[in-house]
Structure 1
Amino acid sequence: MRGSRVLFTTRDDKLGKFCCNKPHHLKFLTDDECWELLQKKVFHKDKCPLDLEELGERIAKKCMGLPLAALVIAGALTGRGKTKSEWEIVHQYVSEHIISSDIMMTKKLVQMSCDSLPVNLKACFLYCGAFPKGSEIPAWKIVRLWIAEGFIRETMQSTVETVAEGYLNELVSKSLLMVTQRTSNGQIKTFRVHDMLHEFCTLEASEENLFKEIKLGVEQSFPRNQVLATFRRLSIDSSVQEFISTNPYGDNIRSFLCFSSRNIVMSPYEFETIPKSFPLLRVLDIESILFELETIPKSPFQKQFFQLYHLRYIAISSDSLKILPKFMEDLWNLQTLIISTQQQTLNIEADICNMPQLRHLHTNASAKLCPSVLKTRNHHSALQTLSIIEPKTFTEEDVFARCQNLKSWVFVGI
Structure 2
Amino acid sequence: MLRDMVFSEEVCPVELEEIGKNIATSCGGLPLAIAVIGGVLRRSAKTLESWEQVAENLNAIVTWENEEHCFKILRMSYSWLPIRLKPCFLYMSRFREDETIEVSKLIKFWVAEGFLKPINGKILEDVAREYLDHLIDRNLIIVRKRGVSGKAKYCGVHDLVRDLSLKEARKENFTLVAKLSSNSAVFLGWSLNKDVELLWRFLTSLPLNMFKNIFVESIVHLVQCRYLSVPNLGRLLVEKKLRMLPVLWNLQTISINEFLTTITLPSMFWTMTQLRYINIISNIVLPEPPPKSQFYCTLENLQTLSFVRDFRCSEEIYKRIPNVKKLKIRYFSQDVEEGPYYSLSNLVHLCRLESLHLHGMMVSIKDISFPHSLRKLKIKRTNIWWSEMVAIGSLPNLEILVIGFQGVQGLEWNVTKGEFVRLKKLCVSDVDLKHWKTEEGSFPSLEELELWRLLLQELPDPLNFADIPKLRLINLIVRGKSIKSWAKQIKEEREGLGYGSIQIE
Check conservation: 1:374, 1:399, Cα contact below 8 A: no
Cα deviations by residue, 1:149-178 (Å, 9 ceiling, x for unpaired)? 221111233121111110001111111111
Any residues of structure 2 matched to 1:210-221 within 5 Å, and which?
A: 210-211=174-175
- Larger radius of gyration between Structure 1 and Structure 2: 2
Matched residue, 1:285 = 206
Matched residue, 2:132 = 168
Any residues of structure 2 matched to 1:377-396 within 5 Å, and which?
A: 378-392=296-310, 394-395=312-313
Cα deviations by residue, 1:222-281 (Å, 9 ceiling, x for unpaired)? xxxxxxxxx3442776x876xx2xx6xxxxxxxxxxxxxxxxxxxx74697997473223
Any residues of structure 2 matched to 1:209-248 within 5 Å, and which?
A: 209-211=173-175, 231-234=176-179, 244=186
Distance (Å, rounded) in 1 between the aligned partners of 2:7 and 2:168: 27
Distance (Å, rounded) in 2 between the aligned partners of 1:142 and 1:282: 17
Matched residue, 1:51 = none
Check conservation: 2:112, 2:205, Cα contact below 8 A: no
Matched residue, 1:366 = 283
Amino acid at match of 1:191: C
Any residues of structure 2 matched to 1:45-60 within 5 Å, and which?
A: none
Check conservation: 1:152, 1:164, Cα contact below 8 A: yes
Residues paired across the two proteins, number: 280
Amino acid at match of 2:7: G
Matched residue, 1:136 = 100
SS of the equivalent of 1:179 reads: strand
Distance (Å, rounded) in 1 between the aligned partners of 2:191 and 2:287: 27
- TM, length-normalised to structure 2: 0.49
Matched residue, 2:248 = 331
Matched residue, 2:258 = 341
Check conservation: 2:224, 2:248, Cα contact below 8 A: yes
Check conservation: 1:341, 1:365, Cα contact below 8 A: yes
Question: Is the aligned partner of 1:16 residue 2:43?
Answer: no
Distance (Å, rounded) in 2 between the aligned partners of 1:362 and 1:200: 33
Distance (Å, rounded) in 2 between the aligned partners of 1:115 and 1:379: 44
1:366–1:408: structure 2 CA closer, same or farther, 3 Å change rule? same
SS of the equivalent of 2:310 reads: helix
Check conservation: 1:371, 1:393, Cα contact below 8 A: no
Match of 1:310 among 224, 228, 235: 224
Check conservation: 1:275, 1:308, Cα contact below 8 A: no
Matched residue, 2:76 = 112
Question: Is the aligned partner of 1:402 residue 2:320?
Answer: yes
Matched residue, 2:114 = 150
Distance (Å, rounded) in 2 between the aligned partners of 1:271 and 1:316: 21
Identity of aligned residues (%): 23
Distance (Å, rounded) in 2 between the aligned partners of 1:129 and 1:291: 25
TM superposition shift of 1:382: 2.3
Match of 2:85 among 121, 138, 149: 121
Distance (Å, rounded) in 2 between the aligned partners of 1:164 and 1:362: 20
Check conservation: 2:180, 2:203, Cα contact below 8 A: no
TM superposition shift of 1:372: 4.1
Check conservation: 1:136, 1:180, Cα contact below 8 A: yes
SS of the equivalent of 1:147 reads: helix
Matched residue, 2:329 = 411
Q: How large is the Cα RMSD of the aligned pairs?
A: 3.4
Amino acid at match of 1:284: S
**Structure 2, unaligned runs of 5 or more:** 13-29, 34-63, 331-358, 360-378, 380-505
Check conservation: 1:329, 1:350, Cα contact below 8 A: no
Check conservation: 2:273, 2:298, Cα contact below 8 A: no
Distance (Å, rounded) in 1 between the aligned partners of 2:220 and 2:255: 16
**Structure 1, unaligned runs of 5 or more:** 1-6, 22-65, 70-99, 212-230, 248-267
Check conservation: 2:104, 2:153, Cα contact below 8 A: yes
TM superposition shift of 1:125: 0.8
Check conservation: 1:400, 1:406, Cα contact below 8 A: no
Matched residue, 1:258 = none
Any residues of structure 2 matched to 1:263-302 within 5 Å, and which?
A: 269=189, 276=197, 278-286=199-207, 289-292=209-212, 301-302=216-217
Distance (Å, rounded) in 2 between the aligned partners of 1:327 and 1:240: 18
Q: Which moved more, 1:331-340 or 1:182-191?
A: 331-340
Q: Which moved more, 1:393-402 or 1:341-350?
A: 393-402
Check conservation: 1:312, 1:335, Cα contact below 8 A: yes
TM superposition shift of 1:311: 1.5
